[in-house]
Amino acid sequence: MLGDDTTTEKRLRLLQAEFTQHEKTGPGDGRSATLVHGAPPVDLGTLDYMRSAVAEVVTHTQAVAPNAGPAPADQADVYRWSRESTEHLDIGPQLVREAIIYRQGLEHALAMGDTDAVRTHPCPGCGCWGLYWRAAAKRAVCVNRRCTDKDGVASTWTLARIAQQYIAAQESASRRAT
Ligand SMILES: [Zn+2]
């Protein structure tokens, strides 16, 4: 099950395609482009965003697998390269890798204006399906009024936490299945 999911790669390719097209045919001053109908425009930070996401995966991979060699030329191949370079490692490091890739998939979705990507996960605190994305805080917020901290403030979660939970659940489901 580890490494079967190519959602993150596909989303990065969408971002790449949008940015490339935008560079060639971008309207006006070419500083923004709309990805999905009704979605917020992609700003010039998209290129930097993609670079830093890929750099994170490369740095992590080369740290845990020093023999990984150079990163692939095509940014979107970095996920496949990371998996191939670390597939010999124990389950622990592989789960860490998958959580990073999954989190980046969520980040790519949000970069494209797709906040529904967050809603499809249960709250790590109460298990309800009431998470929504609060962009300013860069955290997912739980709508369950009983899901709060001791001061009564609604529970909020980072994408990293949601990704860890998702990957852990996948892993335990696959262990039960075998
Ligand atoms: Zn909750």
- 161 lies in the same domain as 75: no
- 63 lies in the same domain as 122: no
Q: Considering the chain, what is the average pLDDT of its residues?
A: 88
- 85 lies in the same domain as 125: no
- 31 lies in the same domain as 97: yes
Residue-range definition of the domain harbouring residue 165: 115-178
Q: How far is CA 131 from the centre of its chain?
A: 16
H or E element in which residue 141 lies: strand 139-142
How are beta strands 131-134 and 41-42 bridged, if at all?
unpaired
Per residue in 90-100, pLDDT tens?
999 999 999 99
CA of 139 to the centre of ligand 1 (A): 13
Model confidence, pTM:
0.85
What's the number of domains the chain is made of?
2
CA of 141 to the centre of ligand 1 (A): 8
- 80 lies in the same domain as 141: no
Beta-bridge mates of residue 42: 33
- 69 lies in the same domain as 17: yes
CA of 121 to the centre of ligand 1 (A): 11
- 6 lies in the same domain as 92: yes
